[in-house]
Chain A
């Protein structure tokens, strides 16, 4: 189903952003910007984040998309909501950054928090999801997990594995810093291991997945070597948890690959496999000479050694263990036999997909993906 979102009102944008910033975005135009050099500097506009005609409307549309998506999920109109125009994860409360002006993800998450005690944010853009992490750095109600390139002065410069959150949010920010050239198998293995553990430990009520396509091979700015299948595998994996899922776009600077990627991922989310060859359409020329949904391998060296990835993984899992033992954070509300749901179960539509609590009662965990030797859990305590 395709929906036209409403244009987000300034007051909705100000649920996260500062009022003065929103107001400035609303009023500034390319013709008047020369009069406001101080403000432009203050809000980090003008360089990476230029002022252009209809900038504010642009923000209203993509933010409105994510907000409406979150609301649809909250009202259980659908299980998955997609806004490919969203995912501008660098925007900060009081300034723009990395061509992101309004952080639609934060707004969407805040909306989801009205109905879910815990929301999980996953970011597979090649850049660190700094805006979202920063917004929720102090809270345990949102866990942010970002896989990104880190080092060599790569934008934005944050996202070290040591960034784990603070105060109540300590251990609720996870960063997976990677080096150039990571390929499908390394990335998927790491992703699945970490995300399964995260979902198992954190038990979110909803998931927000930012699918930045600049982590693909051949991106103008990115430096990873993922294929479209590798990238889409992450989406497929997250979908399997059967939690309310909000999917957004994000970065991606080789536009044909971005189009390919999000087309394939739309297919994945709809459980539809698409033929490899792109059918004739008005833009078919952009996809020559192969006209395929596949993209060529990047032929770059994978600088992520097995030991490096293993170290990162250990660090992340170690930090996750701290949550299991933290007494103040209630992961299991009560033992299963006496549990009191945090929502009115009577209102649950019995025809809807099984909710997490019921799932927990099943003996066979739905999210047990690794069998035999690949099972990482046999060393750890199962909740």
Chain B
């Protein structure tokens, strides 16, 4: 790979030249002295992210950073340089050098297969891309010679420079994102780019905000559905998203004005991103048989079991009755009185429903709905829960939801989630409805709220 190393030398030189450090002759990406290894690593990061941008497609989207099965972080740059030193993927595989790669990375042997696979998926193609890009860059020199003077190359590589120059901002954005989200932003996931606002960097603040607005107001997290989030302890996603929420709501509200203005500026950046295409192949399409004109048997035994149906009464209940009247408890002259009245109406409607549904009432789970759920909780337990919710640190909250039974010994996760939706958020909404009616949100459980007297709501 002689050409390769010369190219590296040139490229490294170009990089350092462009950063005003022309004295240092860099031999090779790998053999550089320590004080330049940071530069090499950042060069690698930049090139790799350009590569990801260019080659991003549905088929080869890979999350970065890479985490091994046992939870260790794998440094792609280290891996890449080690393998390169040993002659590239093919040479390493042929000569059985993976063992030494693993050892030099300081990893356990049992991850060897994973590491090899990761290299194959992430870096093998990158190797080829890198040499192709360099070839292209170098071809732009007037004489095509690999060993042209440094100045000549610098002057003749405007495109390559442009690839490199604007990257730091973009990279800074994703570097900030990485510790939290662990997914490449080109993956076009709905995963929120989870920024902890406290980890702001001055310089990138503007850009990041706009990217987040750009991304977050458009590609937000489907998994940030409160129900499922809580159910599986991913509350953190929601919480962090909620911390940003006041921002996001405002942004959404003013989105109209800013979006049309933003459209013009954001157009170029959206063009940078690759267009996704429908995937084609046996692992994508369904097998649809030809229509023969004969109806195949559609299993008639799996039609579901009946739970409830409208009674065919001879005295036909009017449609209004079946549907139910609208809300009746509008009187709010006396808060305590109206609170009681609403409670009464809820109970009355519930009784009606029970009568209508019969056993279906229990089958459909109605008996487990509502604030009665909290009757099964002691005051202490409710306090523990409330304290966990009011905790200021997202990590404390996350730790609570990861294993609520640790804090509430008698309660299963199911119990805790049920309490959350049936009692806790109900109280929250009660408060919001009365105190902040213009700003109601049952997905933001971070606000402090009081209650009226010692009643439930």
Restricting to A35-50, which residues have a CB under 8 Å from any CB of B?
35-38, 41, 47-50
Q: Is the CB of A289 within 8 A of B70?
A: no
Other-chain residue from A157, A253, A286, A289 in contact with B426 (beta carbon distance below 8 A): A286
Q: Residues 239-277 of chain B: 1 if any A CB is under 8 Å from the residue's CB, otherwise 0? A: 000000000000011011101100100100010010111
Restricting to B416-457, which residues have a CB under 8 Å from any CB of A?
422, 425-426, 429-430, 432-434, 437, 440, 442-443, 457
Q: Which residues of A contact B326 (CB under 8 A)?
A: 275-279
Q: How far is the CB of B233 from chain A (nearest CB, A)?
A: 8
Q: Residues 151-181 of chain A: 1 if any B CB is under 8 Å from the residue's CB, otherwise 0? A: 1111111101001001000000000000011
Q: Is the CB of B286 within 8 A of A48?
A: no
Q: Residues 63-95 of chain B: 1 if any A CB is under 8 Å from the residue's CB, otherwise 0? A: 100011111000000000000000000000000
Q: Is the CB of B189 within 8 A of A141?
A: no
Interface class of chain A by DSSP: loop
Interface class of chain B by DSSP: loop
Q: Which of A70-78, A193-201, A353-361 is found at the contact surface with chain B?
A: A70-78
Whether, in the assembled complex, B112 has its beta carbon less than 8 Å from a beta carbon of chain A, the answer is no
Q: Which of B6-14, B20-28, B141-149, B293-301 is found at the contact surface with chain A?
A: B293-301
Q: Which of A128-136, A230-238, A316-324 is found at the contact surface with chain B?
A: A128-136
Whether, in the assembled complex, A189 has its beta carbon less than 8 Å from a beta carbon of chain B, the answer is no
Interface contacts (Cβ under 8 Å), in number, total 283
Q: Is the CB of A3 within 8 A of B68?
A: no
Q: Which residue of chain A lies nearest to B249 when distances are taken between CB atoms in the complex?
A: A220
Restricting to A102-120, which residues have a CB under 8 Å from any CB of B?
106, 110-111, 113-115, 117
Interface centre among A141, A220, A301 (most CB of B within 10 A): A220
A57 to B364, CA, bound (A): 17
Given A4-B363, A114-B297, the answer on whether A283 and B306 have CB atoms closer than 8 Å is: no
Interface size, A (range): 35 or more
A255 to B69, CA, bound (A): 36
Whether, in the assembled complex, B231 has its beta carbon less than 8 Å from a beta carbon of chain A, the answer is yes
Q: Residues 206-236 of chain B: 1 if any A CB is under 8 Å from the residue's CB, otherwise 0? A: 0000000011011111111111100111100
Given A38-B117, A134-B285, A284-B342, the answer on whether A115 and B296 have CB atoms closer than 8 Å is: yes
Q: Is the CB of A75 within 8 A of B298?
A: yes
Q: Which residues of A contact B223 (CB under 8 A)?
A: 47-50, 99
Q: Which of A90-98, A364-372, A373-381 is found at the contact surface with chain B?
A: A90-98
Restricting to A48-72, which residues have a CB under 8 Å from any CB of B?
48-53, 64-65, 67-68, 70-72
Given A47-B183, A220-B220, A251-B222, the answer on whether A135 and B323 have CB atoms closer than 8 Å is: no
A281 to B425, CA, bound (A): 15
Q: Is the CB of A134 within 8 A of B284?
A: yes
A117 to B294, CA, bound (A): 9
Q: Is the CB of A283 within 8 A of B369?
A: yes
A130 to B410, CA, bound (A): 44
Whether, in the assembled complex, B384 has its beta carbon less than 8 Å from a beta carbon of chain A, the answer is no
Other-chain residue from B62, B70, B190 in contact with A41 (beta carbon distance below 8 A): B62
Q: How far is the CB of A259 from chain B (nearest CB, A)?
A: 11
Q: Which residues of A contact B323 (CB under 8 A)?
A: 267, 272, 274-275
Whether, in the assembled complex, A303 has its beta carbon less than 8 Å from a beta carbon of chain B, the answer is yes
Q: Which residues of B contact A35 (CB under 8 A)?
A: 69
Q: Which residues of B contact A181 (CB under 8 A)?
A: 256
Given A155-B189, A284-B342, A285-B433, the answer on whether A272 and B220 have CB atoms closer than 8 Å is: no
Other-chain residue from A5, A71, A93 in contact with B285 (beta carbon distance below 8 A): A93
Q: Is the CB of B304 within 8 A of A153?
A: no
Whether, in the assembled complex, B303 has its beta carbon less than 8 Å from a beta carbon of chain A, the answer is yes
Q: Is the CB of B221 within 8 A of A48?
A: yes
Whether, in the assembled complex, A346 has its beta carbon less than 8 Å from a beta carbon of chain B, the answer is no
Other-chain residue from B270, B286, B442 in contact with A135 (beta carbon distance below 8 A): B286
Q: Which residue of chain A lies nearest to B229 when distances are taken between CB atoms in the complex?
A: A50
A-B contact pairs, 20 of them (CB 8 A): A2-B306, A2-B309, A52-B231, A53-B231, A93-B286, A114-B298, A134-B278, A134-B285, A135-B285, A154-B219, A221-B190, A221-B224, A254-B443, A255-B225, A272-B322, A280-B329, A282-B370, A283-B426, A285-B430, A288-B432
Shortest Cβ-Cβ A-B pairs, 4 listed: A52-B232, A277-B326, A282-B370, A288-B433
- B-to-A contact residues, CB < 8 Å: 62-63, 67-71, 114, 117, 182-183, 188-191, 214-215, 217-228, 231-234, 252-253, 255-257, 259-260, 263, 266, 270, 273, 275-280, 283-286, 288-289, 291, 293, 295-300, 302-310, 319, 322-329, 342, 345-346, 348-350, 360, 363-364, 369-371, 413, 422, 425-426, 429-430, 432-434, 437, 440, 442-443, 457
